[in-house]
Amino acid sequence: MWLSQLNKKQDTLKKGRRYEDIACQYLKKKHYHIIEKNYRTRLGEIDVICSLANELVFVEVKGGKKTPEPFLRVHQQKLLRLERTMRHYLHHDERDWEYIRLDVISISEPDLKIKHFKDVLGY
């Protein structure tokens, strides 16, 4: 049983990396510059950190079946964890950004349709 749980976790991580790669390709096509992937702290993880002009953009990537939509898995507790992790990153980043935001990219199977929700925290 322990081995099957490990295999399931590895499958989930592979899928997550695949969705993150798709999201990065999408962002690059939209002229974003990828700064970092999978930024981790004890506070949480941010899937992608990128910039567009002088805006710093943190991106949470969700992928999966069309029903329910993957972006629906970004709940209030997740947003709070992301916000704390963003603050940690900003504390250690010396650049002066014009605007900072959190986006969510949702990728649905089987057609890999991308939905990009910008500035989900709205401040």
CATH number at residue 37: 3.40.1350.10
Cα–Cα distance between 7 and 48 in angstroms, integer? 25
pLDDT value at residue 71: 84
- Res. 97: pLDDT tops 70: yes
Flag whether 14 is in a domain: yes
Residue 72 lies in a domain: yes
Q: Output the pTM of the full model.
A: 0.87
**Mean pLDDT across 27-50:** 96
Q: Are 63 and 19 in contact (CB under 8 A)?
A: yes
The answer to whether residue 32 is domain-embedded is: yes
Please name which of 60, 55, 30 lies closest in space to residue 44, comparing C-alpha atoms: 60
122 confidence band (pLDDT: 50, 70, 90): confident
- 12 falls within a domain: yes
Is residue 53 situated within a structural domain? Answer: yes
- State the pLDDT confidence band at 34, using cuts at 50, 70 and 90: very high
pLDDT on residue 84: 96
User: Does some domain include residue 122?
Assistant: no
Q: Is residue 87 part of a domain?
A: yes
Q: How many domains does the chain have?
A: 1
The mean predicted confidence, pLDDT, of the chain is 88
pLDDT at residue 4, as a whole number: 58
Q: By residue range, what is the domain housing residue 94? A: 2-117
Nearest residue to 105 (alpha-carbon basis) of 119, 122, 89, 91: 119
